[in-house]
Structure 1
């Protein structure tokens, strides 16, 4: 199968000839990854523009931390954090996604220029989310989710993580469509790190084809997550490197995801992943190119 053709895109989003790169702007004081570095509106907008300059195709703006154990922020505060940043980036021509579990935040962000709603609960956290997305007629990321951050680790119990995530995502996608969202606007996300332990995450990355078989574009969000820390720690009992030292490992997963036909990868640091997905695209193209490349003097240097 041609993975480029299988990658697809959701209706209402630009089409790229490779796996897209979604840069992350966390407008929070307590992100597991960047610890509030972009909490100020001006700093957050600048960060988003910097990510685009480094190769991001779209920027995902979120105002609520979803790290394990995180408490929820109230709606007014989330709106205060998110909407000005969305508006500022959209005014600069950036393709903006809003990362929220609240219908009101999603609707206000779309009104301010966001073109994609990325809900880590897949519409389960707020019953008004699916009707709001359907009414807005924007693409919707449906992530595999089993509960809020406070207790999601206790829900990381699977007999066959790949089969169960596929089945639960299929059921959730069907429910979202039944709620009025156009199936052509749905993107799926396996929810790496959400109610999953390191072996679960690795199994899902190893079997992205099973998720793509659901027939919708796939977003892979592995950036800086705990399972990469476990891999990099290596020996039993060794301390995993901090989140900001996992970007090379993130780029490795981005290359794998691109090779396996993911529509996009969501990352905190863009440059290495932007390079990785472009190399993956070049390798895809080489598969169909003539194998006897023309010889140019000095080309091997």
Structure 2
């Protein structure tokens, strides 16, 4: 199972780590952590040295009830950072965390390699055509509504079945546009209650039927820290536990704040398989 990133074939049969770089002032865990270019470069260098294959750059917070950010503001935040990262780390594989086709287009043109869309093309009618034109891997996530409204849309008759149906429809739509490399993300925390998140994780192996690589993003999320009656900054151990479960159930990419620990988790699971 491979994806083509800027002419480089990345083999996902051995799980990979995607480091999170939020350049937003209001992200739930690390909002405002990177205040200037120097801090961003240091943070990314640390993640790459720790073993991250991808770095996911986001300039629009998708936490519940996040404030709206204009397209112009999102572009002003993200494009200079992408250019700086590509200049300083020429081999870097950057993923752009955006649901806007114009941000995705300009991000790829600036040197990024993948598009990570929380809406799977449902918040921008031009997204699928844009991804097809750019010929880049596309991460599509399950969500209902928008970050502002998603927590009020958690009524499912059969959660896992409905999420799988959603992906079958979105994968078919992507295929119709000629998009080849698709990665699916069940969207933990997006239009799902705490209990629903665990239900989805418990049935994660069913997502193998999509025949697509599976990206898992549970890093320091409320399903961990609320379950443990703690806070996001104390949820690293819980993150490693759930990442372990996800890997055992078929995850191909772990999207995390803490790269070193995720890489170690993968190494131990791979050793177990041997």
**What is the TM-score normalised by the length of structure 2?**
0.94
Which of 244, 249, 258 is equivalent to 2:233? 244
Q: What displacement does 1:27 show?
A: 0.4
Contact 2:23 2:31 in 1 (8 A): no
1:213 maps to which of 195, 209, 213:
209
Structure 2 residue ranges without an equivalent (≥5):
none
Moved more, 37-46 or 65-74: 37-46
1: CA distance, partners of 2:268 / 2:143: 31
> Deviation at 1:275?
0.5
State the partner residue of 2:196: 200
**Preserved contact between residue 130 and residue 180 of structure 1 (Cα < 8 Å):** no
- Deviation of 1:16 after TM superposition, in Å, equals 4.9
What do residues 215-254 of structure 1 show as CA deviations (whole Å, max 9, x unaligned)?
A: 1000001111111122212xxxxxxx22111111111121
CA distance in 2, matches of 1:212, 1:17: 13
Question: What secondary structure does 1:21 align onto?
Answer: strand
Distance 1:17 1:178 in 2: 26
Q: Distance in 1 between matches of 2:12 and 2:212?
A: 15
The aligned length equals 269
Matches within 5 A, 1:122-141: 122-141=120-139
1:180 deviates by: 3.2
Aligned to 2:161: 163
Between the aligned partners of 1:84 and 1:50, the Cα distance in structure 2 is: 20
CA distance in 2, matches of 1:174, 1:17: 23
Q: What are the within-5 Å matches in structure 2 for residues 163-202 of structure 1? A: 163-182=161-180, 185-202=181-198
Q: TM-score, normalised by structure 1?
A: 0.86
Which structure features the higher share of strand residues? 2
How far apart in 2 are the matches of 1:141 and 1:16?
A: 14
Contact 2:15 2:253 (C-alpha < 8 Å) held by counterparts: yes
Give the aligned CA root-mean-square deviation in angstroms: 1.4
1:25–1:59 CA contact under 8 A, matched in 2 = yes
Structure 1: 5+ residue stretches without partners: 1-7, 234-240, 286-301
- Which residue number in structure 1 is paired with residue 152 of structure 2? 154
Partner of 1:9: 2
Instruction: Decide which of 245, 258, 269 is 1:269's aligned counterpart.
Output: 258
Give 1:72's match in structure 2, choosing from 68, 72, 89. 68
Map Cα deviations across residues 142-192 of structure 1 (whole Å, 9 max, x no partner): 11111111110110111221111111111111122223322xx10001011
